[in-house]
Chains A and B, each alone.
Chain A
Amino acid sequence: MTNLEFGLTFTVIGMGGTLIILFLISLVVDVLNKYLPGHESKKEQTAQ
């Protein structure tokens, strides 16, 4: 593999991989926010 081939492969997969993983993390956060809404601590306090 030449340096240029290595560089191009690395750039495409590396950048693509980074963006895809960040997108996955953002989806995970969306799901967490959906199922664990922000007022939960307030609810807990009320229940007590």
Chain B
Amino acid sequence: MITEGLLSLLSGFGNLQWSNGVMIIVGCALLYLGIKKGMEPLLLVPIGFGAILVNIPLAGLMEKDGLLRYFYDAGVLTEIFPCLIFVGIGAMTDFGPLLENPRILLLGGAGQFGIFLTLLLALLLGFTKLESVAIGIIGACDGPTAIYVTSKYAPHMLGAVSVAAYCYMSMVPIIQPPIMRALTSLEERKIVMKYEKKKVAPSVKIIFPIAVTLVTGLIAPMGTPLMGTLMLGNLLKESGVADRLVKASQNEIANVVTLLLGISIGATMAGPVFLKPQTLMILGLGLVAISLDTVMGIFLAKLMNFLTGGKVNPLIGAAGISAFPMSARVVQVEGQRANKKNYLLMHAMGANTGGQIGSVLAAAVMLSLLKGMGIV
């Protein structure tokens, strides 16, 4: 009787598979990156801890009636968490630099090329159509968008896609500079872009989120939950009459949902499911996606530079991704490295906020195309 009781206390060790052990180490590695290296700590810490929790044998956290299963089913499968995060992001974003120079929005489109080119690559590597869409969306450089699309069409890949998206987003200052230097000449990087602050009417800032929601919703309606929640948050902010809701969106809602979202994603990283060659391919393709975003953004900025007779510094094209504001800061640093008098930050901020809209829009177009082509 006593022996049986003691043995039951050791049953966790008895049921520990090698893959659980490896994933507990992976979880600890994510915690290390978040805590010691400061890489997206708000997400990598709960994701890492979720990965540890779900790999404890017999705890049953992701089984029916398990704690993490409730969070996952209620928030991720229903797509509520990513949409709530978007309300917070919208409430934190100032589209002012973009509204001052709206053409820069196109750079936010070029920064999404990586999504589609990586999708092609994933198809060629043998992934299914929906899996390829989920892999390509890592190139959106936008965690909630990646989670939204993946949970909808390839939930079995959610852990790998989310970890790739958030890790690479935090590695933008490492990934982008070598590409930027390789694709631009010193003369191009030295180009000074004048910045004259133009006053944007408060009414334009209020109408903008409504107009974007209507234009994108009518053309690509499947993405309305994403764009709608992003623009709702921004409308709350710009309206100036809903301070309590803005503060709640920026703080309480965003914080609680980030915690639950992170731990739910970590909970999809159970060893037997996660440890497959496919996961390594997803991580590799994610890196390709973000690199291609940078390449295509720079190429479009080079074209703009050519068309404007040398007035656009091609570096700002690299900021056309959703990783805000890291990417804009990288552009500023690289610009000043080439020319100390160069101040590209505001132009890059415009491209960067354009990238935020571009990434959600690219996802919306993808979702609508999938439906239109009868794939889903």
In the bound complex, CA of A8 to CA of B99 (Å): 33
Q: Roughly how many angstroms separate A20 CA and B215 CA in the complex, as a whole number? A: 11
Residues of A in contact with B, size category? 20 to 34
Cβ B108 vs Cβ A22 within 8 A: yes
A36 to B195, CA, bound (A): 21
Would you give the 0/1 interface string for B195-223, flagging 1 where the beta carbon is closer than 8 Å to chain A?
00011111110011001100110011000
- B33 at the binding interface (Cβ < 8 Å): no
Q: Which residue of the partner chain B has the closest CB to A17?
A: B365
B residues near A9, Cβ cutoff 8 Å = 373
Residue among A3, A8, A15, A26 making CB contact with B102, cutoff 8 Å = A26
Q: Of B68-76, B114-122, B251-259, B282-290, which binds chain A? A: B114-122
A6 with B215: in contact, given A14-B116, A22-B106 (CB under 8 Å)?
A: no
Please choose the segment from B261-269, B334-342, B356-364 that sits at the chain A interface, where 4 or more of its residues have CB less than 8 A away.
Answer: B356-364
| CB under 8 Å from chain B, chain A span 9-32 | 9-11, 13-15, 17-19, 21-30, 32
Interface centre among A38, A39, A41, by most chain B C-beta atoms within 10 angstroms, is: A38
Q: Does B274 contact A (CB under 8 A)?
A: no
Decide if A36 touches B366 in the complex (CB within 8 Å): no
B369 and A18 contact, CB distance less than 8 A = no
Q: How far is the CA of A5 from the CA of B106 in the complex (A)?
A: 26
Q: How far is the CB of B207 from chain A (nearest CB, A)?
A: 6
* Contact A21 B203, CB 8 Å, known A11-B117, A38-B198: no
Extra contacts, 5 of them, besides A7-B124, A25-B215, A38-B201 (Cβ < 8 A), are A15-B112, A15-B116, A22-B357, A29-B208, A32-B211
Q: Judging by beta carbons under 8 Å apart, are A26 and B106 in contact?
A: yes
Instruction: Answer whether residue B132 sits at the interface, using C-beta atoms and an 8 A cutoff.
Output: yes
Interface assignment of A4: CB less than 8 Å from any CB of chain B: yes
The answer to whether B106 and A32 have CB atoms under 8 Å apart is no
Chain B residues within CB distance 8 Å of chain A: 98-99, 102-103, 105-106, 108-110, 112-113, 115-117, 119-120, 123-124, 129, 132, 198-204, 207-208, 211-212, 215-216, 219-220, 354, 357-358, 361-362, 365-366, 369, 373, 375
- Is the beta-carbon distance between B369 and A15 smaller than 8 angstroms? no
Known A-B contacts A6-B123, A7-B123; the reply to A26 vs B103 at CB < 8 A is yes
B362 with A14: CB separation less than 8 A: yes
Contact B369 A26 (CB under 8 A): no
Q: In the complex the two chains form, is B362's CB within 8 Å of A41's CB?
A: no
Q: How far is the CA of A7 from the CA of B370 in the complex (A)?
A: 11
State whether A10 touches B119 (Cβ < 8 A): yes
Q: Which residues of A contact B373 (CB under 8 A)?
A: 1, 6, 9-10
A38 to B215, CA, bound (A): 23
B113: chain A residues within 8 A (beta carbon): 15
CB contact between B358 and one of A1, A22, A24 (< 8 Å): that residue: A22
> A8: which B residues are within 8 A, CB to CB?
120
Residue ID in chain B nearest A24 by CB atoms: B215
Which of A4, A14, A18, A29 contacts B99 (CB under 8 A)? A29
The complex places the Cα of A22 from the Cα of B364 at a distance, in Å, of: 12
CB-CB under 8 A from A3, the residues of chain B are 123-124, 129, 132
Nearest residue (CB) in B for A13 is B369
Task: Name which residue of chain B comes closest to A41, CB basis.
Answer: B202
Q: Are B102 and A21 in contact (CB under 8 A)?
A: no
User: In the complex, what distance in Å separates the CA atom of A33 from the CA atom of B366?
Assistant: 30
**B369 to A14, Cβ gap below 8 A?**
yes
Give the chain B neighbours of A30 by CB distance below 8 A: 102
Closest to B202 in A: A41
Residues of B within 8 A of A23 (CB): 105-106
A6-B129, A22-B106, A39-B199 known; A29-B117 Cβ under 8 A: no
Residues of the A chain whose Cβ atoms lie less than 8 Å from the Cβ of B106: 19, 22-23, 26
Residue of A nearest to B365 (CB): A17
Contact between chains at B357 and A32 (CB < 8 Å): no
A25 neighbours in B (Cβ, 8 Å):
102, 105, 211-212, 215-216, 357
